[in-house]
Structure 1
Amino acid sequence: MNRYLERSAIPSSYVHLLYDYLAERGLDGERALGQKRPATSARPGRFPVFEWSQLLQRAARQLDDPLLGLHLGQSISPRHLGIMGYVILACGNLGAALERLEHYQRLIYDVNPMHRQFDRDYVTLSWGSEMGRPGPLVDETAIVALLQFCRNMCNQPRLSPQRVDFINPRPQDIVPYEEWFGCEVNFDQSATRLVFPMAVLEQTLDSANPDLAAVLEAQAQELLKQLPDENTSGLLGEVMQLIQQTLPTGHCSAEAVAARLHLSPRHLQRKLHAEGSSFRELLRASREQLARHYLDDPQLQLSEIAALLGYSEQSAFTRSFRQWTTLTPTDYRRKRG
């Protein structure tokens, strides 16, 4: 088990989604899953992602349903997402809701971070695998739940993306996925993605309430502060910290980082592989994370950002950034500003 996944969590309110789903089918969730239902409280606790994955696998066997993720996610409601469900509902339009989701995602799904990427006609929500892969059932439940939530918010039951990608292996039959998503669905991809036409962001929400949104966001911000720092514990966090420290020197390498950890490069790579990652993946993730942060600072020139990220030429930084986001750094900055 990837040590990062061992620390990753979802709100316990989200786990109620599965117990509610089983109850609707006449099953006692606690008996079927062999685990007590999480307690309900005003401030729901955190539930380990690896345990969530195990519960989904048990439920899929009990129901004899390999498409459980596709079916379960459709039963999502705001209460399953805790306070974030209501923060999102109070936004003015779908674009604002997705922006809040990106900012507060760790309150809902604390594994691989979500990124919004824009080009001229589309907005892409993407999740990589640098922090590990929790598995198809976890990913499919989350992506289906997200789209279903969007459909519910907009009162558009047939709202469909332009394309859906999953990082996990292709199942035997993809027709049920294509029928429900209403678009092309790909598997074995480099990342999990939802690609929407840009116009979708303008969809208004009937539940919009700016005053309530401000109050709820303050509560969500407080909850976010209480989460453990995602970059300060575990081997992956240590490596990402060292990468970020050494990038500006222009000499960031697996050899340099391994030496700081008193490991051989080969031993470091083996340990990262056991965590479900690699030095190359963490280097890319660190550069992308820092690039987005630096581009939000209008005082930094693109040449300075390239140097801070360890690139010898600005053109190399531009090529990499376009691979990450489909945008040039200039276009990204223009859209953010």
Structure 2
Amino acid sequence: MDDTRVAASYVRLLFEHMAALGRAGDLGDPPAPTEPFVALRRWQALLQRARELDPGPKATFTLRLARGIAPRHFGIVGFAALACNTLAEALLRLERHHRAIYDVNLAQVRPCAEGLCIEWGVERGRPGALVDETAIAALMQLTREFTGRPVRALAVDFVNPRPADVRPYEDFFGGPVRFGQPSTRVVLAARDLALPLRGADAALLALLDAQAERLLQEMAAVTGPLAVWRQALVGLIRSGRTQLPDLADSLQMSPRSLQRRLAEQGVRFQALLGQTRQQLAEAYLRDASVELAEVALLLGYSEQSAFTRAFRQWTGQAPLQWRRLHTR
């Protein structure tokens, strides 16, 4: 687990919690603005130290900490999830990009008899009760932040040993909580998955809309169906829908009809997608406040490395190199 890490934005939750207790400096310096990730070992140590310093009950430290979670602590992934239509869509978005926040064990989101099961195995190790409990409690709290509703878990499992009193956990999660299980798991009711989200962060949407508007202006010289298709792709890329059927659905036509129309214009879907992504990428890269990992997510890539490879193919340069040359 030496190479695992968590997002710095997520770690700042702990520093905000300690600041609210009047002990802002007791953990040392928070992650720097230029530090996108924090090693898991450092996160484990910070949690342990904060638990010792927190004057509240030790047994419920992680639950109190999680109550302060907000979309901003999940970085741009949290804001992108908040921009989804329903809780189910937001959870699927978080699954797709979870490594940008919590790079320990892989998350699996799958339907189950009760509704939706979110599960983490132990393939890459067991990070410990403090890490696990904070993560799962934060995820549960985030569903409530997203929807503005008191979402309750139907069941929660932890791989760690059972504490002396499980009642605080059951009160927090709203359902039965088991310990000493083979995997970490949260089960949500089907009825809650359809809950609408209460709206995206205004500042992030302003950024996304400004960048999209810039691209649309650049596309103004392009007329005919190509302009319509590229304009539709801008919104689809932001929401992570980057397949031909997604574009066909947004244009209210069948995938086969869209393929035929693309052929008539002498363009392939992947080429159209790549051109649109490149223009969006260059617009985002010109804004130094948007980190490279965030650019990758905004373009619908689940890994920054995939974005870097694509950008090299488009421009012959790495994204950071291109940014340095074009933002002087």
- TM-score normalised by L of structure 1: 0.61
Specify the alignment match of 2:108 in structure 1.
115
2-structure distance, mates of 1:102, 1:133 = 19
Q: Helix, strand or coil for the counterpart of 2:29?
A: coil
Q: Name the counterpart of 1:154.
A: 147
Say yes or no: does 1:215 pair with 2:294: no
1:12 aligned to 8, 12, 17, which one? 8
State the match for 1:225 in structure 2.
304
* Conserved? CA contact 2:114–2:187, under 8 Å: no
CA displacement, residues 285-325 of structure 1 (integer Å, 9 cap, x when unaligned): xxxxxxxxxxxxxxxxxxxxxxxxxxxxxxxxxxxxxxxxx
Could you say what secondary structure the match of 2:103 adopts? coil
SS of equivalent to 1:7? coil
Residue 192 in structure 1 maps to residue 184 in structure 2: yes
1:36–1:51 Cα change, 3 Å: same
SS at match of 1:67: helix
Cα distance change, pair 216–196 in 1 and its aligned pair in 2 (3 A): closer
Alignment partner for residue 142 of structure 1, among 128, 135, 141? 135
Tell me which structure has the larger Cα radius of gyration.
2
1:202 alignment counterpart:
194
Runs of 4+ residues over 4 Å off in structure 1: 208-213
**For residue 56 of structure 1, what is the aligned residue in structure 2?**
47
Q: State the shift of 1:200 in Å.
A: 1.6
Decide which moves more: 211-220 or 106-115.
Answer: 211-220
Structure 1 position 225, deviation (Å): 2.5
Q: What is the rounded CA distance, in whole Å, between the counterparts of 1:112 and 1:169 in structure 2?
A: 18
| Contact 2:86 2:193 survives alignment (8 Å) | yes
| CA distance, structure 2, for counterparts of residue 216 and residue 7 of structure 1 | 29
Are the aligned partners of 1:91 and 1:213 in contact in 2 as well (CA < 8 Å)? no
Distance in 2 (CA, whole Å) between partners of 1:77 and 1:226 is 27
1:252 paired residue number: none
> Which whole-Å CA distance do the structure 1 matches of 2:302 and 2:32 have between them?
18
% same residue: 37
CA contact 2:78–2:94 (8 Å) conserved in 1: no
What is the one-letter code of the residue matched to 1:152? Answer: E
Residue 36 of structure 2 is aligned to residue 45 of structure 1:
yes
Q: Does 1:92 align with 2:85?
A: yes
The 1-side partners of 2:236 and 2:177 are apart by 34
Of structures 1 and 2, the one with the larger relative CO (CA 8 A, separation 6+) is: 1
Structure 1 unaligned spans of 5+: 228-337
**Do the aligned partners of 2:4 and 2:103 also contact (CA within 8 Å) in 1?**
yes
**TM alignment of 1:230-309, pairs within 5 A:** none
What's the CA shift for 1:206? 2.2
Aligned to 1:231: none
Q: Distance in 1 between matches of 2:15 and 2:239?
A: 26
Count residues in correspondence. 217
Deviation at 1:122, TM superposition (A): 2.2
Quick check: 1:72 aligned with 2:68? no
Segment drifting more, 90-99 vs 64-73? 64-73
Structure 1 match to 2:210: none
The offset of 1:213, in angstroms, is 7.6
Q: Is the 8 A contact 2:97 2:302 kept in 1?
A: no
Q: 1:55 to 1:213 in 2, by over 3 A?
A: farther
Shift of 1:222: 4.9
Higher mean C-alpha deviation, range 218-227 or range 89-98: 218-227
Residues 2-45 of structure 1: CA distance to partner in whole angstroms, max 9, x if unpaired?
xxx210111111111000000001112x3x22x3211125xx51
Measured in 2, the distance between the counterparts of 1:184 and 1:58 equals 29
| Contact persistence 1:83–1:216 (CA under 8 A) | no
2:159 counterpart of 1:167: yes
Please give the alpha-carbon distance, in whole angstroms, between the structure 1 residues aligned to 2:89 and 2:305: 24
> Which residue number in structure 2 is paired with residue 181 of structure 1?
173
Please state how far the C-alpha of 1:118 moved relative to its aligned partner.
Answer: 1.4
> TM (normalized to structure 2)?
0.62
Deviation at residue 180 of structure 1 after TM alignment: 1.1
Deviations 1:180-224 (A, max 9, x none): 111101100111110111222111112168977843756314572
CA distance in 1, matches of 2:13, 2:151: 22
Give, in whole Å, the separation in 2 of the partners of 1:213 and 1:71. Answer: 37
SS in 2 for 1:82: helix
